[in-house]
Amino acid sequence: MSSETLDPETVRAARLSGRRRALYDLVRAERRALEDAAAVDVLRTGAGAPVVLVNPLSGQLFAYTHLVSHLTTERPVLALPADVVLGRGEGLTFQQLAARYVDRLRLAGTRPAVLAGWSIGGVLAYEIGYQLSAHGTPCPVLLIDSAVTPPEHLGAVRPAAMLVREFVENFAISAGLAVPAVADWSEPWPVLSGLAEAGGAGLSPDDLLGRYRTHVDAIAALDDYAPSPAVMPVHVVRASRTSAAIAARWAGLVAGELPLRTVDTDHHGLLHAPAVAEVAEDLDRLADSAQEDR
């Protein structure tokens, strides 16, 4: 086939190899899915009610690669990519954003056995589970090192340099890339251009800028979100090297004792071996229990 018949992304992909090519293919699939507001990605086929994973910061689903591979049962594993409204600066509340995900699940005919999410994905899974359960579709939730904004910080606006740094660090570590050394985090474009030049999972600076804008909108919604008391089962997995206050805030929202597992690792280590095996164990057990109750 002549190179004249290939689109630029295919040419770019052909220059990659190994892990970077796999990440690039997954990112392209995510981007195609985002073109459909009702998208629900199938990460693994199977039988019965599915495990549904909710996108973390900037929408990168590849963060869940090791978690999916460690799940031991044959149930389907689905994922909700970042909603198309994120990145447009429309100022949706966290509740409004979650309602869009609920609509996507209903349009896809999906009734989760369990919802799970890491980082901000867990907080979003909580609100989705709350809305499903409040409207007669009970759904347990597994929160993987997910933190709600403390009441005293609600409505605060994070500085641009903080947003850029958070995005780059989360993206790089999730993609297995080195976090770049940056002197000035205040301007996103030069930082993201540098990340793209260093590999960037095969993404262009424009692609990374789109994901950064997704991150900014998600953080703005999170920082103004006060969750309602739980009406569904909630389980928490916490990294030992993150704040114990994470579990304490969720414990204040559930009736009775909060099921909690603390794993000896850091925030990102929960999605990598060996710690991810403990997360997968809890997710398998919670999904099995949910299916048995139906």
Least confident of 12-16, 98-102, 194-198, 257-261: 12-16
> Can you tell me the mean pLDDT for 30-35?
50
Exposure string for 38-61, b = 16+ CB within 10 A, e = fewer: ebbbebeeeeebbbbbbbbbbbbb
% of the chain residues with pLDDT over 70? 84
- pLDDT tier, 56 (very low <50, low <70, confident <90, very high otherwise): confident
Q: In the predicted model, is pLDDT for residue 3 greater than 90?
A: no
- Checking if the pLDDT of 35 tops 80, the result is no
How confident is residue 28, by pLDDT bands cut at 50, 70 and 90?
low
**Which residue did the predictor score with more confidence, 275 or 108?**
275
Question: 14: pLDDT confidence band, cut at 50, 70 and 90?
Answer: low
Q: Give the residue with greater pLDDT, 290 vs 63.
A: 63
Least confident of 6-20, 34-48, 188-202: 6-20
Mean pLDDT check: name the lowest of 50-54, 237-241, 268-272, 284-288: 284-288
Maximum CA extent, the chain:
65
Residue 98 vs residues 137, 209, 213, 225: alpha-carbon distances, Å: 15, 23, 18, 11
Tell me what the pLDDT averaged over the chain comes to: 87
> Sorting pLDDT into bands at 50, 70 and 90, what band is 73?
confident
When pLDDT is cut at 50, 70 and 90, the band that residue 249 belongs to is very high
Residues linked to residue 237 through DSSP beta bridges, in sequence order? 144, 261
Q: Cα–Cα distances in Å, from 128 out to 146, 218, 223, 244?
A: 14, 14, 17, 24
The CA-CA-CA angle for residues 272, 63, 56, to 5°, reads: 125
Q: Is 80 exceeded by the pLDDT of residue 53?
A: yes
- Give pLDDT, residue 45: 93
3 state SS of 142: strand
As a whole number of angstroms, the distance between CA 145 and CA 246 comes to 7
Instruction: Read off the pLDDT of residues 251-275 as tens digits, 9 standing for 90 and up.
Output: 999 999 999 999 999 999 999 999 9
Q: Which helix (H) or strand (E) holds 189?
A: helix 188-197
Residue 75 reports pLDDT greater than 90: no
Does 29 have pLDDT greater than 80? no
pLDDT bin (cut points 50, 70, 90) of residue 1 is very low
Higher-pLDDT residue of 135, 12: 135
pLDDT in tens, 166-197: 999 988 888 888 888 999 999 999 999 999 88
Report how many helices (DSSP H) and strands (DSSP E) the chain contains, helices first.
Answer: 10, 7
Report whether 45 contacts 53 (CB < 8 A).
no
pLDDT digit string (tens) for 124-139?
A: 999 999 999 998 988 9
